[in-house]
Structure 1
Amino acid sequence: MPIDKELIKSKIHSREDILLKTIADIVAYKMSESPENMGPESNFLAAAESVAQYISEKF
């Protein structure tokens, strides 16, 4: 049974799961170094979405 993507995003944003938050922060940082840099807040939102999507599909 896949993990719900919205639940994962909620855990990232609430800092309930610090490991997921840390992963999203690292992804957002790497995004800031790329040509697709959208600013800190947008990068974090996109990173949280990507991390949640990946985890919900793979686990």
Structure 2
Amino acid sequence: MHTLELGNYHWLFGTVVFVAHTDGTFSILDNGEETAFDDMADVLTYVVELLLAA
């Protein structure tokens, strides 16, 4: 898990926040729960799944 100081934050929708970490990885924070990703394609797949589930 990454510390919150390591990234740039971008609000997506609702309580979902996208984090681009300085080490080249990414996270999605959803209601405070962090899901880490190594690849932007995985981030996009996750976001699409969230949108379809809404």
TM-score range, shorter chain: 0.3 to 0.5
Structure 1 length normalisation: TM-score? 0.37
Structure 2 length normalisation: TM-score? 0.40
Give 1 or 2: higher helix fraction: 1
Give 1 or 2: higher strand fraction: 2
Structure with the bigger RCO (C-alpha within 8 Å, sep 6+) is: 1
